[in-house]
Structure 1
Amino acid sequence: MSIGALDAMTAYGRALGVGAEQGIGGLGENAAAATPKGAGGFGTMVESLVGTTAAALRTAESAGVKQVAGKGDLIDVVTAMGAAETALDTVVAVRDRMVSAYSEIMRLQI
């Protein structure tokens, strides 16, 4: 899965809740003014993303346990597993982009 720079900026802007009125990811000359008060930045977004993914994985696991015990519905298990897989794919894609950016920064000459 390949994520372009524009897609990444747009997703980052949406995660922060900015950019609806500013255009692409809320980035531009008024980016500082467009950032909502209390927004923690990239670290807060990653923390939220990891927390949401962990919750989706726990939900999928509990749905699977209920199905094995005969108390759950197979459709609920499949839906929960799909949501957990999508969330995990997103976290992996963000991690890969972060590692790639770090590697590129480390290759820069000072």
Structure 2
Amino acid sequence: MVNSIGALDALSAYGRARGVADGVAGNAAPSSVGDIPASSGFGDLVAGAVSQVGGALSKAESASLAQVAGKGDLIDVATAIGAAETALDTMVAVRDRVVNAYNDIMRMQI
């Protein structure tokens, strides 16, 4: 199955996922790509994205454990799991695009 996601689609999906994950975590999401500091590179961007996905997954896990213990709300669990799933799907889509771009570069003739 071929994944036909464009670069702008991936960027907008990442922005939506980041907004959902930050909304769950209580942090404010940047309004645009221009809010990223000029000194941060691609590695910092990826590290931040992985950190946010890990945070969303951790929040979903803790919400699930609280629900099992009888101290949580089912709506909070569903929201946290949805945010984690969206963040993870976006991260996988971005990774796939980066790998495809790398493969395209490697196939170029010099």
Q: Same fold (TM over 0.5)?
A: yes
After TM superposition, the runs of 4+ consecutive aligned structure 1 residues lying more than 3 A away are 5-12
Distance change >3 Å, CA 9–CA 82, structure 1 → 2: closer
* Structure 2: 5+ residue stretches without partners: 16-31
| 1:75 paired residue number | 75
Alpha-carbon RMSD: 2.3
What residue in structure 2 maps to residue 102 of structure 1? 102
How many residue pairs were aligned? Answer: 91
Equivalent position amino acid for 2:5 in 1: I
Supply the distance in 1 between the matched residues of 2:7 and 2:47 (Cα, whole angstroms): 21
Residue 8 of structure 1 deviates from its aligned partner by: 4.7
TM-score (normalised: structure 2): 0.71
User: Conserved in 2, the CA contact under 8 Å of 1:16 and 1:41?
Assistant: no
Higher-Rg member (1/2): 1
- Cα deviation, 1:10-64, whole Å, max 9, x if unaligned, reads 769x34526xxxxxxxxxxxxxxxxx443x1221111111000000000000000
Query: Match for 1:3: what amino acid?
Result: I
Taking only the aligned residue pairs, the percentage that are identical comes to 60
Q: Which has the higher contact order (CA 8 A, sep 6+)?
A: 2
Distance in 2 (CA, whole Å) between partners of 1:71 and 1:92 is: 32
Q: Is the 8 A contact 1:66 1:72 kept in 2?
A: yes
CA shift in 2, pair 1:79/1:8, >3 Å = closer
1:5 positional shift: 3.2
Paired position in structure 2 for 1:91: 91
Match of 2:35 in 1: 17
| 1:3 aligned counterpart, secondary structure | coil
Cα distance between partner residues in 1 of 2:47 and 2:62? 23
Q: CA deviation at 1:9?
A: 6.3
